[in-house]
């Protein structure tokens, strides 16, 4: 039986943390769908492109996985990512600031791979750090 926790660790640490998109075909199901991509649902290929965008914009990226919960074929996890904003990201030129973001994901495993995923990312914090939106006074 596949260790779902190890699959989630590899997704977060190897793929998003190190930018190793070669791992994606090993851990994401061939019919994978991320239902919450910023520009709509993403399949495996779109996920590879998204990871490459992140690593083109954020150097020295580090990720951590805080918690992983598994219930049969259902998984949920909380993560953190940080890196230095040294490249264009979502149309924002480099700030050379450290960017930190966190999120919670829920997924469905199939045939030992992640088949579906829904994400909740702290986009307000991310956009504030990028200067896209002004944070409310209590976040300053």
pLDDT of residue 140: 60
Q: And the tokens for 22? A: 């070669």
Distance CA(63)–CA(120), nearest Å, equals 16
| Residue 96 CB partners (closer than 8 Å, separation 6+) | 84, 85, 86
pLDDT per residue as tens, the chain (140 positions): 469 999 999 999 999 999 999 999 999 999 999 998 777 899 999 999 999 999 999 999 999 999 999 999 999 999 999 999 999 988 899 999 999 999 999 999 999 999 999 999 998 899 989 988 876 677 66
The answer to whether 108 touches 116, Cβ cutoff 8 Å, is: yes
pLDDT of residue 2: 64
pLDDT of residue 31: 97
């Amino acid at each position: 039986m596949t260790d779902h926790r190890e699959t989630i660790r590899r997704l977060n640490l190897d793929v998003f943390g190190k930018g190793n998109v070669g791992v994606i075909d090993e851990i994401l199901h061939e019919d994978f769908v991320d239902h919450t991509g910023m520009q709509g649902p993403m399949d495996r290929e779109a996920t590879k492109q998204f990871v490459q965008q992140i690593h083109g914009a954020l150097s020295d990226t580090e990720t951590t996985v805080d918690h992983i919960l598994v219930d049969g074929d259902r998984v949920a996890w909380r993560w953190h990512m940080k890196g230095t904003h040294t490249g264009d990201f979502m149309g924002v030129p480099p700030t050379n600031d450290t960017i930190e973001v966190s999120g919670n994901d829920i997924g469905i495993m199939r045939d030992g791979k992640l088949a579906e995923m829904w994400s909740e990312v702290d986009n307000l914090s991310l956009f504030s750090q990028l200067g896209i939106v002004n944070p409310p006074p209590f976040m300053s």
